Amino acid sequence: MRDMLWSGWGDPGRAAPLPEPVVALLRDLLGVRPAEAPPVALADVEVPETRLAADGLTALAKIVGDRNVRADTESRVRHTRGKSTTDLLRIRAGETSDAPDAVVLPGTHDEVLAVLRACAERRIAVVPFGGGTSVVGGLAPSGLAPSGLAPSGLAPSGLAPGGVDAFIALDLRRMDAVVSIDDVSRTAVLQPGLRAPAAEAALAERGYTLGHFPQSYEWASIGGFAAARSSGQASAGYGRFDDMVVALTAATPEGTLELGRAPKSAAGPDLRQLVLGSEGALGVITSVTVRIRPVPEAKAYEGWRFASFAEGAAALRRLAQDGPQPTVLRLSDETETMVGLADPAEIGAGASAGCLAVLGFEGTPERVAGTRAGAADVLRAAGGEPLGTGPGEKWEHGRFDAPYLRDSLLDAGAFAETLETAAFWTDVPALYEAVREALTGTLSEAGTPPLVMCHISHVYPSGASLYFTVVSAQGGDPVGHWARAKRAAGDAIIDAGGTISHHHGVGTDHRDGYAREIGPLGAAVLQAVKDRVDPSGIMNPGVLIPPESRDCQ
């Protein structure tokens, strides 16, 4: 299995510098200047001395084998944090203060159980690691003091009293099998370390697809999809990943959870939903049973133009509520359309770019033709102008390229980052304006006025997601600037009635917003569950669970 670029996204061979006209535009429009120093080389990166005692390494090696416990510098660097922009800026500067003390690669569910028990006995925190694509601070425990012990004898946030002495990255790449495919029920049992492209290839051999294609698709893992409640670009047709999961198995320090005896059940609360989205804080997902669908016989993508974001959003709402529902349904605002998604030749000479909507249709040829024609009637009635297949095919061809563009922007001295939310349709307009104002105001005050773009990429009868992209100059303290801007945006999201995350997860970045969203009693309920399945507090400490939750019990 290939590793991602340690200091950026994906395949190093796909990185490309920005064209000079784009660099000049960034300089003139946003004041972007080249970085003062190039990123450090991997060979020059140092990591802190491991805090794992020799007997701890030996105990772990007895469980998974000597070759599957790695404490070398490169392995630890490659498992340091995730792929948010601040993660990348820190690792490019050689900052590895929260590198794992070792990387452990289990091969079976039983090995995961044994590793968790050994770590609980030795006060070693465990961070499950799939594709390493987290962008919300989900891959490093918070509150871990340099010695491994909390200052003044207090437990780090999210940890049980006593804290932990070290932490390991639990890399699940060896658990990468398609265990079984059930043609009758149309389900498949998949292991957590299976990368999405490998899963799709294996299912395609039997004529099936998951239909799950998030932007992280090329590198993310099945376990990561489940742990973060991922949502793919074709969610309008296939649903979110948590909609696909009908059963799962999870290992905890206290034993095994096997959940899901039928597609739906009235036998109490659905505990599958407790594990989905838990981000490793309640245990390690070791297998999922997912529903699968036949590979579509036909596909078609197309573009539509709307004069305004509000007009386009109203059209998407009509399709989401009354149909016919495309498989892909997304809308870029005026700024995002202007910056990169629209070809003036496709819109018409002298016409305003407006807002670009992209629709995708999949299924039998007859279904694609019928849905496409019905959607066209709705969009025309809502003020849409058809642009043909060009914009849709352009989007489909480049839909996994944005993270590579971010790397190029960082190389040029720009700052580029994303955040997302969702709300009921009634609240979407105010939410859109509130988040834009929070980001623009905070970053402008810091001396780095931004370009803020947005799109809707996931729709429901009752609401939709909003996905924001921010580009600015890095300034003197880009990590600090973004922390303040993201905090302001998070406050704006909660105040405007949105959720703190639609599909990126909570991690440590969104933990405070999540606490506001679920309230003190909700946080205390989560903490009570964690105390039962993870009494030592070793599972991804500081992630998801609000730090004050134990005080609320």
The Cα 301–Cα 358 span in angstroms is 7
Of the candidates 7, 18, 84, 12, the residue with the CA atom closest to the CA atom of residue 40: 7
Cis peptide preceding 450, ω within 30 of 0: no
What pLDDT, on the 0 to 100 scale, is given for residue 143? Answer: 58
The Cα 499–Cα 518 span in angstroms is 10
Please check the confidence at residue 426 and state whether its pLDDT lies above 60: yes
- Give mean pLDDT, residues 5-14: 92
Please check the confidence at residue 152 and state whether its pLDDT lies above 90: no
- Give mean pLDDT, residues 474-497: 96
Please check the confidence at residue 343 and state whether its pLDDT lies above 50: no
- Give mean pLDDT, residues 455-484: 96
Please check the confidence at residue 350 and state whether its pLDDT lies above 80: no
Which residues are CB-contacts of 492 (< 8 A; sequence separation ≥ 6)?
A: 431, 434, 435, 437, 438
Mean pLDDT of the chain: 92
pLDDT one-digit tens code per residue, 78-128: 999 999 999 999 999 999 999 999 999 999 999 999 999 999 999 999 999
pLDDT one-digit tens code per residue, 489-539: 999 999 999 999 999 999 999 999 999 999 999 999 999 999 999 999 999
pTM to 2 decimals?
0.93
Please check the confidence at residue 347 and state whether its pLDDT lies above 70: no
What pLDDT, on the 0 to 100 scale, is given for residue 35? Answer: 82
Give all strands (DSSP E) within 414-474, no chain letters: 414-424, 451-456, 459-460, 463-473
Q: How far is CA 35 from CA 32, 96, 421, in A?
A: 9, 20, 31
- CB crowding 504-538: b at 16 or more within 10 Å, else e: bbbbbbbbbbbbbbbeeeebbbbbebbbebbebbb
- Give mean pLDDT, residues 249-274: 96
Q: How confident is the model at residue 36 (pLDDT cuts 50, 70, 90)?
A: confident
Q: Which of 10-14, 76-80, 330-334 has the lowest mean pLDDT?
A: 10-14
- Give mean pLDDT, residues 211-236: 97
* Percentage above 90 pLDDT, the chain: 87
What pLDDT, on the 0 to 100 scale, is given for residue 547? Answer: 77
The Cα 537–Cα 553 span in angstroms is 16
What pLDDT, on the 0 to 100 scale, is given for residue 346? Answer: 45
Which one is predicted more confidently, 16 or 260? 260
The Cα 382–Cα 306 span in angstroms is 9
What pLDDT, on the 0 to 100 scale, is given for residue 550? Answer: 63
Count other Cβ atoms within 10 Å, centred on residue 81. Answer: 22
Question: Within its chain, how far is the Cα of 85 from the centroid?
Answer: 13
Structural contact between residues 289 and 272, judged by C-beta atoms closer than 8 angstroms: no
Q: What is the DSSP string of 484-552?
A: HHHHHHHHHHHHTT-BS-SSS--TTTTHHHHHHHHHHHHHHHHHHHHHHH-TT--BSTTSSS-TTGGGG
Q: Which of 340-349, 386-395, 407-416 has the lowest mean pLDDT?
A: 340-349
Please check the confidence at residue 151 and state whether its pLDDT lies above 70: no
* Percentage above 70 pLDDT, the chain: 93
What pLDDT, on the 0 to 100 scale, is given for residue 552? Answer: 58
What pLDDT, on the 0 to 100 scale, is given for residue 342? Answer: 47
Q: Mapping DSSP to helix (H, G, I), strand (E, B) and coil, where does residue 304 land?
A: strand
- Give mean pLDDT, residues 12-20: 86
Which one is predicted more confidently, 108 or 549? 108
